[in-house]
Chains A and B, each alone.
Chain A
Amino acid sequence: MPGVRQIRSRTVALPATNIDTDQIIPARFLTSTSKAGFGKHLFADWRYDADGNPKADFALNREEARGAAILVAGRNIGCGSSREHAAWALLDFGFQAVISTEFADIFRTNSLKNSLLPVVVDEKTHAWLLAHPDAEISIDVENTTLTLPDGTQVKFPLEGFARYCLLNGIDELGFLLSQNAAIASYEQSRR
């Protein structure tokens, strides 16, 4: 897994609250057995019309959105289904971070496991970001700060172990496997 230290990009804003994972990646695309290729189906029902053509007024289809790596979403993004395909779709599309005031638990966990950074910000910063789509901002994982275009720095919470894994590109399975002796001892105690 690649390490993540700095993300610097324009933002794309989707102000809707409670964006569920069925919107991020509809269930009809979940029959794939690989992690690749979900980006083209990201937000499929919001992004394309009935004939499969991009809807001009959808934020991700705007010319300014091209190449943006940071998604600013309304409160409680990622609620609903546990499908990790939602994180895979966002990453495959090109996003490296998602900013909101609140993340659903499973989506937040799935994102971190794939080095997609969930950034929780306060209401004021959130409101500014939603009002300024296309803003160029930077995110520093090591110092857990987000820097707005005017230089204002905002701290964000990031669980210590997740931060360590992100920075060093450590995959948690490797860490868990290294706990084998403790796991074996626990199993023994319960036989």
Chain B
Amino acid sequence: MPKTMFEKVWNDHVVVPETADTPAVLFIDLHLTHEVTTPQAYTELRTRGIRLRRPDLTLATMDHSTPTRTEQVFGGVPIAVDSAAKQVRQLEINTKEFGVELFNLQDSRRGIVHIIGPELGITQPGKTIVCGDSHTSTHGAFGALAFGIGTTEVGHVLATQCLLQRRPKTFAINVINALPRGVTAKDLILAIIGKIGVSGGTGYVLEFRGPAIERLSMDERMTICNMSIEAGARAGMIAPDATTFEYLKDTPRAPKGAAWDEAVARWSKLPSDPGAQFDRSIDIDAATLSPMVTYGTHPGMVAPVTGAVPAQGDAVFEKALKYMGLKAGEQISNVPVNNVFVGSCTNGRLSDLRNAARVLRGHKLAQGVKMLVVPGSQAVKRAAEAEGLDKVFLDAGAEWRESGCSMCLGMNGDLVPTGHYSISTSNRNFEGRQGQGARTLLASPETAAASAIRGRVTDPREFQN
């Protein structure tokens, strides 16, 4: 019986099979943790006198509420947000008490949890990976089954290294042909969400497949899988191949020597078998796509940069447009931009910064535009500085910060002012996501950079050379 990649990974991790009465007990290979969604789980363990079962499969970093200003990270200046400082200290206390490896604020390996897993090479094909963060789907780009969980489940994994799970359904997203020049992975995933809707993937694990996906780099595949949750799917997966192995080969914690060869042989068996049945499937033609920008208050409200806000919709559509200060039928390229954010677990990797810098090089930000560039990890920051990308951003008038989630969700005080339009390479344009009253337009790093130059939403292909 041919199997999907998801079935293979799932079957390999079933400790106790599911029955009509009970869900499966599923073993977790890697538990990534951070300061925001773990404190209450550690309290639970402490209260009940339970030890952490597998510290060797658990890693902690700080990313969500951490400052991005260098003086607060390295200069001894206190973290500006008091409660955030307390949360960061609590993670230090908890990880020390329970014996978990922590990349603290000054650690050179620190970064956004979904950026550092792949960088270290602990994100690997065939693994089950969870984290108290919905963008854990990112790791599916390696052929891992990776999904976000709540804090109660974080406690379950800390205590037992397992979760109780009903088996989800499978959904194949076949992306045929190739993306045209100037159209990115971000544009592709926004188009997919626009097509299937923000709850189209609920109850499913997505598998992105087809020629357009096979051509993508690992960074691009991570951008795709990262936003699976924006279509309602807890997990998205892409089959591991030579691109995956090449990325992982020299990472610090990937298997070495004979163990590497053995791992590659094992990983090579993971892709879905020919004829494997998915519960649902759709085709997307990559060749027809353009750069995409959201105009509303969820990621499914998206249009080509060359297009317009739809002419009409329901009451929810009207409410979203009112919040955004936009009119039905308005040209997307007419929307002003006050603020630009390049970063996040969606688009905060080195290639994303290169792509934004390539557009921005030799230009200045438009009058009145503020731009924040936040690398996804300290490793990304160092690599970007080594090739001079920081200079490109600084010369254009942008700010260059330390790594973290930053303005994607504004927990650390990096906020977009009320009423301002923010073109952002992050993943959510919900009301108030980047600050109370902030108006977020999701786009690729290239589109964000082009828009920064013009001060309105701009097709990055105008800057192609």
The 8 A CB mask of A103-146 against B (1 = contact, 0 = none) is: 11110011001100000000000000000000000000000000
Stretch in B15-23, B242-250, B330-338 touching the partner: B15-23
The 8 A CB mask of A15-32 against B (1 = contact, 0 = none) is: 011101011001110111
Nearest CB on A from B45, distance (A): 9
Q: Which residues of B contact A87 (CB under 8 A)?
A: 150
Given A35-B40, A182-B16: A22 and B156 within 8 A (CB)? no
Q: Are B166 and A159 neighbours in the complex by a CB distance under 8 Å?
A: yes
Q: Which residue of A lies closest to B27 (CB)?
A: A186
Q: Which residues of A contact B40 (CB under 8 A)?
A: 33-35, 84
Q: Are B149 and A82 neighbours in the complex by a CB distance under 8 Å?
A: yes
Q: Does B316 contact A (CB under 8 A)?
A: yes
Bound-complex Cα distance A114 to B433 (A): 25
Nearest CB on A from B376, distance (A): 18
Bound-complex Cα distance A26 to B125 (A): 34
Q: Which residue of A lies closest to B29 (CB)?
A: A190
A106, A159, A182: which contacts B148 (Cβ < 8 A)?
A106
Q: Are B81 and A113 neighbours in the complex by a CB distance under 8 Å?
A: no
Q: Which residues of A contact B87 (CB under 8 A)?
A: 31-33
Bound-complex Cα distance A172 to B155 (A): 11
Q: Which residues of A contact B50 (CB under 8 A)?
A: 177
Stretch in B170-178, B180-188, B195-203 touching the partner: B195-203
Q: Are B15 and A179 neighbours in the complex by a CB distance under 8 Å?
A: yes
Given A17-B316, A23-B431, A31-B411: A179 and B16 within 8 A (CB)? yes
B90, B134, B155, B164: which contacts A80 (Cβ < 8 A)?
B134
Q: Are A82 and B20 neighbours in the complex by a CB distance under 8 Å?
A: no
Q: Are A175 and B164 neighbours in the complex by a CB distance under 8 Å?
A: yes
Q: Which residue of B lies closest to A77 (CB)?
A: B199
Bound-complex Cα distance A167 to B110 (A): 43
Q: Are B409 and A173 neighbours in the complex by a CB distance under 8 Å?
A: no
Q: Which residues of B contact A147 (CB under 8 A)?
A: none
Q: Which residue of B lies closest to A35 (CB)?
A: B40
Q: Are B432 and A22 neighbours in the complex by a CB distance under 8 Å?
A: yes
Q: Are A164 and B150 neighbours in the complex by a CB distance under 8 Å?
A: no
Q: Are B25 and A182 neighbours in the complex by a CB distance under 8 Å?
A: yes
The 8 A CB mask of A25-66 against B (1 = contact, 0 = none) is: 011101111110000000001000010000000000000000
Q: Are B202 and A105 neighbours in the complex by a CB distance under 8 Å?
A: yes
Nearest CB on A from B80, distance (A): 12
Nearest CB on B from A8, distance (A): 26
Q: Are A183 and B134 neighbours in the complex by a CB distance under 8 Å?
A: no
Q: Which residues of A contact B83 (CB under 8 A)?
A: 31-32
Q: Does B101 contact A (CB under 8 A)?
A: no
Q: Which residue of A lies closest to B160 (CB)?
A: A176
Q: Which residue of A lies closest to B20 (CB)?
A: A160
Q: Which residues of B contact A168 (CB under 8 A)?
A: none
The 8 A CB mask of B11-50 against A (1 = contact, 0 = none) is: 0000110001111010100000000110110011000101
Q: Which residues of B contact A18 (CB under 8 A)?
A: 198-199, 298, 316
Q: Which residues of B contact A187 (CB under 8 A)?
A: 27, 161
Q: Are B152 and A84 neighbours in the complex by a CB distance under 8 Å?
A: yes
Q: Does B428 contact A (CB under 8 A)?
A: yes
Q: Are A79 and B411 neighbours in the complex by a CB distance under 8 Å?
A: no
Q: Does B455 contact A (CB under 8 A)?
A: no
Q: Which residues of B contact A17 (CB under 8 A)?
A: 316
Bound-complex Cα distance A76 to B83 (A): 31
Bound-complex Cα distance A80 to B430 (A): 9
The 8 A CB mask of A73-86 against B (1 = contact, 0 = none) is: 01110011111100
Q: Which residues of A contact B25 (CB under 8 A)?
A: 176, 179, 182-183
Q: Which residues of A contact B160 (CB under 8 A)?
A: 173, 176-177, 179-180, 183
Q: Does B117 contact A (CB under 8 A)?
A: no
Q: Are B203 and A105 neighbours in the complex by a CB distance under 8 Å?
A: yes
Q: Which residue of B lies closest to A26 (CB)?
A: B432
Chain A residues with CB under 8 Å of chain B are 16-18, 20, 22-23, 26-28, 30-35, 45, 50, 74-76, 79-84, 87, 102-106, 109-110, 113-114, 159-161, 164, 172-173, 175-177, 179-180, 182-183, 186-187
A33-B43, A110-B150, A179-B25 given. 6 additional CB < 8 A pairs?
A22-B431, A33-B90, A45-B436, A102-B199, A103-B202, A113-B150
18 contacts between A and B (CB under 8 A): A16-B319, A18-B198, A18-B199, A20-B428, A22-B433, A30-B411, A50-B436, A79-B198, A81-B428, A82-B133, A83-B36, A83-B37, A104-B199, A109-B153, A161-B21, A173-B159, A177-B160, A179-B15
Chain B residues with CB under 8 Å of chain A are 15-16, 20-23, 25, 27, 36-37, 39-40, 43-44, 48, 50, 53, 64-65, 81, 83-84, 86-87, 90, 132-134, 148-153, 155-156, 159-162, 164, 166, 198-199, 202-203, 229-230, 232, 234, 298, 316, 319, 409-411, 428, 430-433, 436
